[in-house]
Structure 1
Amino acid sequence: MLETPVGWGVLFVLGTFTGVLAGLLGIGGGLLMVPALTVFGVPLIQATATSLIGVFLSAVSGSIRNLRAGELNWRVSVTLSLFGIVTAQVGAWLGDRLPDAGLSLAFAMLLLITIYLMRLRRRLLERQQRAELANPDLQPEPKQTQSYPKLGAVAGIGLLAGLLSGLFGVGGGVVMVPLQMLFLAETIKVAVRTSLGAIVAIAASGLAQHAWNGNVLWIPGLCLGLGGILGAQAGTRLLPRLPDRTVSLMFRLLLLALAAYMVIRAIER
């Protein structure tokens, strides 16, 4: 079916949908593309490789829009991706040596921990806001020592995101967004845009390796990618119009759904 015009149209629609999610939630889209491709009978390794075309193109599309609008901190994105590329290779090496069911359960736990981190970050922000309202004359602490710890935090997030990306086959945004909120004091919208920029390099690295191994189905992947370009443009334009609470709720619901899927997958194994 994937070699017919009907199949290409289905893949284009799928890519558009995942591209919207990529621009809106800061994820690479592969979390949806890979299982969808397996439904069409594509082997898992080829589905993973082929989806990276769509992940890469949609991330590029959304990041270009964010950069032109002056809404992308490209320095943080580049730092995240540089460290993430390195540890992604370590994660892929570990993934080959762990049982599938164990990886599925570990991934589900990762998603639940991510939800907790996001809720913790929101509580900290609300506590800070209440303190500022109660003490309007309270001065914020000086930030003269912030530059080095912040660089260290960015590097640490990139290293962890790359490791988990290689281990679980995710783009990295699902990990980077809440950690950026927690340790870099970024709002969810800023974190979404920064992680989407980092996904560009992470996806490109994985795609190059899979292409070298001959695992990429180029025509289906390009159909996904073209849809992803349009979807990412829509998602990044929609993001500024949504309240932070709405974006955060959508992100948590997505993580819950993925966690449930991974638990079911582990049980079936």
Structure 2
Amino acid sequence: MSLLSLFNTLGLGPDGWGSVLLLGALMTVVLTLAALAIGAVFGALIAAAKLSRWRVLRVFGDFYTTVFRGVPELLVIYLFYFGGSSLVTTVGQWFGADGFVGVPPFAVGAFAVGMISGAYQAEVYRAAVIAVARGEIEAARAIGMPTLTMFRRILIPQVLRYALPGIGNVWQLSLKDSALISVTGLAELLRASQIAAGSTHQYFLFFVAGGVLYLAMTGVSNRVFGRAEAIVGRSFKRNFARN
């Protein structure tokens, strides 16, 4: 393949597949953001359960993290997508619907990856809470600080500071897991690469192009999280110096 033909094939013109790959990359980022947000909610709840004084909550938290970290991600996606479709179809038949009723691939994919992400985020938040100095919490209670104020001014800022590196790792994990959503037909980056490769029969070219885009997203993500960690670190140093 000549260099000109390569540029035309990967270009943004009417005969190129560049726009398809870029839209797939955008879908991957949006899907990962949605999954990370869903995982943050589940992760916070499970972390609270694992730190609870109630044994039943701790057992439930351990069960959740064990299941979603131990079961293969692809199997979880299959269970949510195909199992969810079967459930919706059965319920629809109860109300007179005919035929198969599918579930939205984006919503199910984001929820499935979010549940997986939540298992890892739970451990990140739990470790961050444990890392907060107990003396600060005891001092806040000793002066009669309300619980909500203590959470807002002492616990949450420090938990976010300690958790940020781990959240960056979970983001990278979710970014890669999003490629598995291609089995549902959602046109994220891997699916877009498969479509382009199948249409042109240039499999090596488009899978390499997809890999390059994944690496580009990973590199940008590392820079963003590195910058965020630096900003949070400087903020805590300034607050410590003032105190």
Larger RCO (CA under 8 A, 6+ residues apart): 1
TM-score, normalised to structure 1, is: 0.33
User: Quick check: which has more Rg, 1 or 2?
Assistant: 2
